[in-house]
A and B are shown apart, each in its own frame.
Chain A
Amino acid sequence: MQTYDLEENGLRGLNAALQAQNAETNRTRWEVVNPKGSHAIAVGLDAPIEVTVKGSTGYYCGGMNQQATVRVEGSAGPGVAENMMSGQVIINGDASQYAGATGHGGLLVIKGNASSRCGISMKGIDIVVHGNIGHMSAFMAQAGNLVVCGDAGDALGDSLYEARLFVRGSVKSLGADCIKKEMRPEHLEILKDLLERAGSDAKPEEFKRYGSARQLYNFDVDKSAAY
């Protein structure tokens, strides 16, 4: 186990050390102490390593992650796991706005609540939130799965493309072109797998599925008021 004191040794040293690891590294487990809400902790990783942050983080923790597993024992600030490609980011506490924004792959697990714009423009990432999510979540989401074990705020899935949204609790309102859809067996399979991997004991049957009505894909002058 490698322990890195962020307060003492600084952010650039941490990210340089983590980014220097590759598939053959034997330094596979890292612990970051004294994060104190710092920004850009453990970003741009590209190796199968495990990084545990002992506290809360600021902006963009785990951004652009590939292969690595990043765990935050506290809460995360805005833009956690932004543009993640693969690997896992797990937040024990809450996440601030635009968690998992533009993510292409991997799994983001938030054990508390996520605030506004969770999964905005997601492009293939899977996001599982054990608690609630805020307004404008999955705005313009293109691919991937957003699973919410609690409630969703206003304008869920506004201008959605092909991402799947699963919500167990209430949805305050649906955004433009987002509709409730039939839950088919293949969706229950996807949900079962994601909930298991995210450590949630929620039952797939308790969720409702939402997705795109596909009415806003192409410009249609008769629908201009809805754009």
Chain B
Amino acid sequence: MKAGLPLAGVALLAALAGFSLYLAGRHAEPLAIPAGPVDATPAAIQSARFEDGEGASRSLGQFAGKVVVVNFWATWCSPCREEMPGFVKLQSKWEGRGVQFVGLAQDDAAKVAAFGRELGVNYPLWLGGTEVMDFSRRLGNHLGVLPHTVLLDGQGRVLESRIGVYPEAALDARLASATGR
């Protein structure tokens, strides 16, 4: 009986610890999840071609020398749209410090343009056909899900590839380490 009381105390403390961890988990922001292995060379990444809003051909190679944040998204994907205002803020913050965001979508050009205007997106939103999701898969997105965010260094090498919503604060910290600032 005497030994029962300390044990009950331990049980109560452990239960409280467990419950508080449960609550912490419930209220955490949705996390980005590391994507799988990358199957593309830096040269292939930099030379892949897409179209801008005016139909002109574009490639990531035009941002060589910068840390590039490639965000795969779609107008119909609500988690994508939730994280984009954070990307707009980060593009403003990191613009003069060697960082360039690019959005890539397999989507309707008019919808993308309307969404970009409405949200005041301050980075290029490029378009493509099925090659957009093929490119995303080669950059580690084996599930074919959105959003998918990839960080490239100045030579087009993949620094990080994540699926799911990338919280603004976490990406801000990641950009600081990627740029050494």
Determine if chain A interacts with chain B: no
Residues of A within 8 A of B (CB): none
Residue positions of B touching A, CB distance < 8 A? none
